[in-house]
Amino acid sequence: MTGTAVSTQTAATQQVLQNALQPEGPQAQAIFGLWNFTLALCTVVFAVIVLAFLYALWRAPRGHAGTAPDLGSLARPERRVHGIVLWGTVISAVGLVMLLVADVWTARALARLPLKEAVNIELVGHMWWWEARYLSDDPTQRFTTANELRLPVGRPVLVSLKSRDVIHTLWVPNLAGKRDMIPGRSTTIALQADRPGVYRAQCAEFCGLEHALMALPVTAQAPADYEQWAAAQRKPSVEPDTDRRRRGRDVFLGTTCVMCHTVAGTTARGTLGPDLTHFASRPTLAAGALKNDRANLQAWIVDPQRFKPGANMPAHPFPADDMTALLDYLESLK
């Protein structure tokens, strides 16, 4: 069982695309344009430097160990060399100004994304997982998920970024640039996906021991599919329909699980860990560290430190019957 969990750990993180050179939205497209311009300009500069170096080698006088050094340049000014250095300085300054102008132009383009009828999400970074709160002026339309984002294709999304503990950084290379999440402050980033797909986000600021295992799948869906998903997320947890699942719910509510997790429709109201109301509908668990299947779920509950040393979740070695019932219950939370 544990071996299966290990073998699927890599698969869970390879299901999604992460490529800054394949923009899938207007924000990423603007950044991609800046990247191409910077690469082209730096390539030209590099080529000129290499050619100048080769030309200098070709023109250099040949000598041997006994050849006397040419110290003539110490007694006479080298006006030609001074002119070359001056023009090189001017051209370098012009190139840097061009990069600055391109950077400012790109920043203005990023700020011009229309936000009419934008989806509003509050994304909170934790050590080492993500909490996503979908906001609305109507309290009945709000809901919370964990370790995944879902966006409607073609519609802007305004994400308010916060951190519960240390500095994190949200980076969705296919959709936008990086934005820091600083404790005690709130910043925003605008996203828009132009095509359906699953894109990999990642914490891009070292935030502790398990920084590398803090992934966030971002799923862009057709608007109708997104609305259907959001409507399902607003509902309370599914009522257990079998004796085993009811027993699993009792196991969950009768242990320390309720001190950290929330399951809407039950007495579990913990906020230290991810909301589990619709846990079974998520593709991964432990912030992208494992594929969300029964074997991995059991291994994670029994010994989370094996997969994410330093994680705040304690081990829960339940008796076999209780574990089977608990797994049945958690797998029903769709």
CA distances 112 to 38, 193, 218, 264, 315, Å, are 22, 15, 22, 38, 48
pLDDT at residue 87, rounded to an integer: 87
Computed over every residue of the chain, the mean pLDDT equals 88
What's residue 332's pLDDT? Answer: 92
- Asked if 119-230 and 243-331 have one fold, the answer is yes
pLDDT tens per residue, range 10-39: 434 344 578 888 899 999 999 999 999 999
Residue ranges of the domains in the chain?
A: 119-230, 243-331
**Closest listed residue to residue 106, CA positions, set 174, 32, 179, 157:** 32
**Does the domain formed by 119-230 have CATH 2.60.40.420?**
yes
> Residue 8: is its pLDDT beyond 50?
no
- The mean pLDDT of 289-308, rounded to a whole number, is 92
CA dihedral 295, 301, 306, 310 (to 10 degrees): 150
Query: In which band, very low, low, confident or very high, does the pLDDT at 57 lie, cut at 50, 70 and 90?
Result: confident
CATH class of 243-331: mainly beta
Question: Hunting for tokens 């590398």 — which residue is that?
Answer: 212
Q: Strands 149-152, 129-134: parallel, antiparallel or unpaired by DSSP?
A: unpaired
| Mean pLDDT computed over 293-318 | 92
pLDDT of 333: 92
Condensed to tens digits (0 to 9), the pLDDT of residues 105-154 reads 998 888 888 888 899 999 999 999 999 999 998 988 999 999 999 999 99
- Percentage of the chain beyond pLDDT 90 is 65
